[in-house]
Amino acid sequence: MAAPDVSRRAVLRAGLRLGILAAPLGLAACVTATDAPLPTKAPPRLSPADAQRYGALEDKGIPIPGVDPDDLAPRNVRQLVQDPTGQQPGTLVVDAKNRFLYLVQENGRALRYGVGVGKEGLEFSGTAAVGYKREWPSWRPTDAMIAREPERYRPWAGGMAGGAQNPLGARALYLFKDGKDTLYRIHGTNEPWTIGEAVSSGCIRMMNQDVIDLYRRVPDGAKVVVVQG
């Protein structure tokens, strides 16, 4: 969940595509962590409405950049689909294999969002609940992260305030199981090009435009099912 500044965006993207960024990161880090190159995406074919939906906006006084069309594969665009989950309306279902999050609706429908998920060995699986939600959440690296990479993480030992550079993005939903924090989150990201990939250290990341939409639809206590297979 390191907080890359804007100037590193192009370098990070290039590193991901070449498969050269592979650092062991903490479970609750929610940062990019992959040792496989990202596939080359076909040119996007987005409707004007979709292009506008993922355009730049301001939220709580904080500017959110528009998603680069080259980073927005059509399959990852928010859309209403037939519900493949069989869960009750109001349930969140994360299909980690296919990189989708479903919010189950009435009448056999579901809202589908593209997501990024944890790389192999760092994923959560099973049933949880939304313990609580936060707008523009703060973030602090774990003690293990600070001990492992002190130069990188010690500056943030006191925490990072929410904002455009915070790796949790515009919103976060905190997943609890049996009343205990799982340390997994559904959250926004300032790396939208990672949506549709298995690159995080366990958390479920969404484009900021999508996590804002999801946040207002989902109450505390909502059921969350994460399926890895």
Active-site residues: which are they?
Answer: 187, 203
> In whole angstroms, what is the distance from residue 167 CA to residue 189 CA?
6
> Residue 224, exposed/middle/buried by CB under 10 A (0-12, 13-18, 19+)?
buried
Contact 191, 4 (CB under 8 A): yes
Q: Report how far apart, in Å, the C-alpha atoms of 110 and of each of 94, 98, 139 are.
A: 12, 15, 31
Contact 32, 193 (CB under 8 A): no
